[in-house]
Amino acid sequence: PFGYPVEVSHVDVLDDDGTPMRFELPIPPLAPGAVVRASLYGVRSPALNIEKTLDRMMELPTACVEQVTSKMFTALMATVYGAAFDFPEAMTQRADALLKQGLKRLLAQQGSDGGFGYFKGCASLPNITAYVLWLLLMLAPTNADLQPLGNQLLGHLKAIRADDGRGWCHESQARHYWYCHGQTVTASVLFFLSEGGCLDFEAEARHLLQPGTLAGLSLWTKAHLLHVAIN
């Protein structure tokens, strides 16, 4: 599908002083048969740009749990911003439908241990489970039926965390996660939960925010931890 697996975009404001804009887009190595496409569009206000962006994001694929959750976040933003910026009714109705469809799809992919992995039948992962929980925390104010599932996921994350306060996937467990460092997994979990207003993991946050622990972490992980510290 369009925009998968790579899509890059730039947004800027065009002033009326005649100054031109220039964007440079490096093209990564592409698979055989891949097609490079570019599009340019202009809008008269930031509100219209938000509408266009959210509408485009709701077209993204939904193969794995992470993608379904991301698409549901987009649909949730569309319903929230729709009231503020007077989006077309058809767009907000589409967002509502995507939220309902996405929720059914998520529930069908929950693991037997109560957590979520990338796909049904895969091992549950703490960061994916926390990502789903963040979404549920955002949806809960308008859907009380989600509270029991949210409590279940929170209990699952508490049950699988390390006893020494180091969080999830510390050094002895890191070999099970091929895609990132153990501290990055813990930072992701804390970020998702703190953004959702769940602050039950102060010990894990304090451990990762120690000056010595921060050394060597990626900028992406440090950015997550900055949000955690602020929250």
Q: What is the 3-state secondary structure (H, E, C) of 96-157?
A: HHHHHHHHHHHHHCCCCCCCCCCCCCCCCCHHHHHHHHHHHHHHHHHCHHHHHHHHHHHHHH
Tokens at residue 46, please?
Answer: 């930031």
Helices and strands (H and E) in the chain: how many? 9, 0
pLDDT of res. 27: 75
pLDDT of res. 133: 94
- Tell me the pTM: 0.72
pLDDT of res. 2: 55
The 10s digit of each residue's pLDDT in 121-143 is 888 888 899 999 999 999 988 88
pLDDT of res. 176: 47
pLDDT of res. 178: 40
pLDDT of res. 214: 63
Per-residue pLDDT of the chain (231 residues; tens, 9 = 90+): 455 566 777 777 777 777 777 777 777 777 777 778 777 777 666 666 677 777 777 777 777 899 899 989 988 888 888 877 777 888 888 888 889 988 999 989 999 889 999 888 888 888 899 999 999 999 988 888 888 999 999 999 988 887 777 778 644 444 444 444 567 777 888 888 888 888 778 777 777 777 666 666 666 677 777 777 776
Between CA 140 and CA 150 the distance in angstroms is: 8
The 10s digit of each residue's pLDDT in 140-180 is 888 888 889 999 999 999 888 877 777 786 444 444 444 44
Q: Which of 42, 35, 58 has its CA nearest to residue 10?
A: 42
Backbone angles phi, psi at 26, to 5 degrees: -65, 135
Between CA 208 and CA 186 the distance in angstroms is: 8
pLDDT of res. 171: 45
pLDDT of res. 48: 62
